[in-house]
């Protein structure tokens, strides 16, 4: 079989399974993006003067790619989170992969929630630790693994727990406090991906680890700019020693072009914007309450805790048809299918934003209730 034939066979199989993906320009009212606070839609625009800064990163941060603006941004982020140190990375995917593959060594033991993001699983594939995938948010299952591992563990081998704080496809929160307590009991280190909570939860929006006052009890947190912050890029919060170690050992930092200084000016202003935007956070949570109330009692299996609202419909084809129906009516709502979610749990992932009006939320909820009669 030629290479082209191999690709065609795979793509045809995906089509037959309703799992073929394509890229297209978004239409309709946005209930898909992760722009939770509405910054990407022009809510609270940033006024920045960055005219004389380059659009290119110039090279690796360790070479000509460093610019003093990033020292300022990292200091502002560290102060926001009350973290000892911060290291900018080019994206959340790269930050997760870079952090995990640098810190975890072959032979170490890692417990990860089964619903962790693909970037976390990609990292675990690369650094080849002994893996324990625990059932989603199941503390008993996690403890079972910790107990077994700690009983036979050799002192040179470290134990880690990796979780998201708010799960991207399920919209529910990890029991962070209990996870940290378990970690402390069994001598494991905790790493938390805060991609979907940064900007929205906690004091001045700094996330769920800070909301639970767990900063000093976790090894590191990962945050992305491309979601609620309305920016681009990502960062890791950690100790100064770990930052130093990453600067010296993390291939995803050393061997890539730095973020451009022009973007740093947007980060500097963006941190101030999000810290002061309690009004946006209130609107967002109010919208989540309204929308969930409007769906209450519908035939749909509505999951999650807040502004990410998964509606689990089961079969891939049903999710695709339901999404297409809503898209035709003017809503940009997408079907999420395996492998992004487990088999037979295809769903709509409805992402609520601070700028959605009450009328707009009510109208989508109405459409979903009506569709339940057709698609259920
Ligand atoms: C939980 C989680 N972590 C990490 C990432 C990657 O972040 P980025 O988009 O900045 O690469 C995502 C993005 O979808 C995510 O959902």
Q: Does residue 180 lie in a domain region? A: yes
Does 196 have pLDDT greater than 90?
yes
Q: Does residue 61 lie in a domain region? A: no
Q: Does residue 363 lie in a domain region? A: yes
Average of per-residue pLDDT across 104-122? 97
Q: SS3 sequence, the chain?
A: CCHHHHHHHHHHHHHHCCCCCCCCCCCCEECCCCCCCCHHHCCCCCCCCCCCCCCCCCCECCCCCCCHHHHHHHHHHHHHHCCCEEEEECCHHHHHHHHHHHHCCCCCEEEEECCCCHHHHHHHHHHCCEEEEECCCCHHHHHHHHHHHHHHCCCCCCEEEEEECECCCCCCECCHHHHHHHHHHHCCEEEEECCCCCCCCCHHHCCHHHHCCCHHHCCEEEEECCCCCCCCCEEEEECHHHHHHHHHHCHHHHCCECCCHHHHHHHHHHHHHHHHCHHHHHHHHHHHHHHHHHHCCCCCEECCCCCEEEEEEECHHHHHHHHHHHHHCCEECCEECCCCCCCCCEEEEEECCCCCCHHHHHHHHHHHHHHHHHHC
pLDDT of residue 141: 98
Q: Does residue 321 lie in a domain region? A: yes
In terms of domains, do 191 and 74 share one?
A: yes
CATH number of the CATH domain containing 358: 3.90.1150.10
Q: Which residues are identified as catalytic?
A: 34, 117, 164, 168, 193, 196, 227
Average of per-residue pLDDT across 305-322? 95
Domain C-terminal end among 260, 276, 292: 276
What per-residue string of b and e applies to 266-276 under the rule 16 or more CB within 10 Å gives b? bbbbbbebbbe
In terms of domains, do 334 and 356 share one?
A: yes
In terms of domains, do 271 and 298 share one?
A: no
pLDDT of residue 84: 98
* pLDDT band with cut points at 50, 70 and 90 for residue 203: confident
In terms of domains, do 167 and 191 share one?
A: yes
Q: Quick: pLDDT tens for 349-360.
A: 999 999 999 999
Q: Regarding predicted confidence, which is higher, 372 or 337?
A: 337
Quote the domain boundaries for residue 299. Answer: 278-375
pLDDT of residue 49: 85
Q: Say what percent of the chain tops pLDDT 90.
A: 92
Q: Does residue 38 lie in a domain region? A: no
Distance, CA 195 to ligand 1 centroid (Å)?
6
> Nearest residue CA, atom 8 of ligand 1?
92
Distance, CA 92 to ligand 1 centroid (Å)?
5
In terms of domains, do 124 and 198 share one?
A: yes
Compute the distance between CA of residue 55 and CA of residue 225 in angstroms, rounded to an integer.
Answer: 17
In terms of domains, do 271 and 289 share one?
A: no
Q: Which of 224, 226, 351 to mutate to test the pocket of ligand 1 (most atoms within 8 A of CB)?
A: 224
In this prediction the pTM is: 0.97
> Nearest residue CA, atom 10 of ligand 1?
92
Compute the distance between CA of residue 153 and CA of residue 109 in angstroms, rounded to an integer.
Answer: 9
In terms of domains, do 348 and 213 share one?
A: no
Residues within 6 Å of ligand 1 by CB: 91-93, 96, 117, 119, 164, 168, 193, 195-196, 224, 226, 234
In terms of domains, do 198 and 318 share one?
A: no
Compute the distance between CA of residue 109 and CA of residue 149 in angstroms, rounded to an integer.
Answer: 8
pLDDT of residue 180: 98
Does 24 have pLDDT greater than 80?
yes
Domain C-terminal end among 276, 304, 332: 276
Q: Quick: pLDDT tens for 165-186.
A: 999 999 999 999 999 999 999 9
In terms of domains, do 110 and 238 share one?
A: yes
Does 51 have pLDDT greater than 80?
no
Does 195 have pLDDT greater than 80?
yes
Q: Quick: pLDDT tens for 82-95.
A: 999 999 999 999 99
Tokens at 300, concatenated? 């749909």
Q: Which of 112, 120, 168 to mutate to test the pocket of ligand 1 (most atoms within 8 A of CB)?
A: 168
11 contacts 20 by C-beta, under 8 angstroms: yes
Q: Quick: pLDDT tens for 62-74.
A: 999 999 999 999 9
Q: Does residue 291 lie in a domain region? A: yes
CATH number of the CATH domain containing 84: 3.40.640.10
Q: Does residue 193 lie in a domain region? A: yes
pLDDT of residue 18: 84
Average of per-residue pLDDT across 16-23? 90
Give me the number of domains the chain comprises.
Answer: 2
pLDDT of residue 107: 93
Average of per-residue pLDDT across 3-26? 93
* pLDDT band with cut points at 50, 70 and 90 for residue 372: confident
Q: Does residue 128 lie in a domain region? A: yes
Domain C-terminal end among 276, 307, 323: 276
In terms of domains, do 194 and 106 share one?
A: yes
* pLDDT band with cut points at 50, 70 and 90 for residue 78: very high
Q: Quick: pLDDT tens for 206-233.
A: 999 999 999 999 999 999 999 999 999 9
Distance, CA 1 to ligand 1 centroid (Å)?
35
Compute the distance between CA of residue 199 and CA of residue 166 in angstroms, rounded to an integer.
Answer: 12
In terms of domains, do 232 and 329 share one?
A: no
In terms of domains, do 159 and 72 share one?
A: yes
Does 36 have pLDDT greater than 90?
yes
169 contacts 309 by C-beta, under 8 angstroms: no
């Amino acid at each position: 079989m030629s290479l082209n034939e191999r690709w065609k066979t795979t793509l045809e199989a995906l089509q037959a399974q309703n799992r073929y993906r394509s890229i297209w320009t978004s239409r309709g009212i946005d209930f898909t993006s992760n722009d939770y606070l509405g910054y990407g839609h022009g809510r609270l625009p940033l006024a920045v003067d960055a005219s004389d800064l380059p659009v290119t990163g110039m090279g690796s941060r360790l070479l000509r790619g460093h610019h003093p603006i990033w020292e300022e941004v990292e200091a502002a982020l560290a102060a926001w989170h009350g973290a000892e140190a911060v290291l900018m990375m080019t994206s959340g995917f790269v930050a997760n992969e870079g952090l995990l593959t640098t810190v975890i060594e072959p032979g170490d033991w890692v417990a990860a929630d089964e619903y962790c993001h693909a970037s976390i699983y990609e990292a675990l594939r690369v650094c080849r630790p002994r893996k324990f995938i625990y059932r989603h948010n199941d503390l008993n299952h996690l403890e079972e693994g910790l107990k077994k591992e700690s009983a036979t563990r050799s002192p040179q081998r470290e134990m880690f727990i990796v979780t998201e704080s708010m799960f991207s496809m399920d919209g529910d929160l990890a029991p962070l406090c209990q996870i940290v307590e378990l970690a402390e009991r069994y001598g494991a280190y905790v790493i938390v991906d805060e991609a979907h909570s940064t900007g929205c939860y906690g004091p001045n929006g700094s996330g769920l680890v800070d909301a639970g006052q767990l900063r000093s009890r976790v090894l590191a947190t990962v945050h992305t700019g491309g979601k609620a912050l309305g920016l681009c890029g990502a960062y890791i919060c950690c100790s100064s020693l770990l930052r130093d170690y990453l600067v010296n050992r993390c291939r995803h930092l050393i061997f890539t072009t730095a973020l451009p200084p022009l973007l740093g000016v947007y980060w500097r202003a963006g941190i101030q914007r999000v810290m002061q935007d309690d009004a946006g956070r209130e609107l967002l949570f109010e919208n989540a309450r309204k929308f969930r109330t409007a769906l209450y009692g519908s035939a749909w299996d509505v999951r999650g805790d807040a502004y990410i609202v998964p509606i689990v419909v089961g079969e891939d084809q049903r999710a695709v048809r339901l999404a297409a129906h809503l898209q035709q009516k003017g809503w940009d709502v997408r079907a999420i299918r395996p492998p992004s979610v487990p088999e037979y749990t295809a769903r709509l992932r409805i992402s609520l934003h601070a700028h959605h009006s009450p009328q707009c939320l009510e109208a989508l909820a109405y459409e979903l209730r009506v569709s339940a009669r057709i698609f259920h």
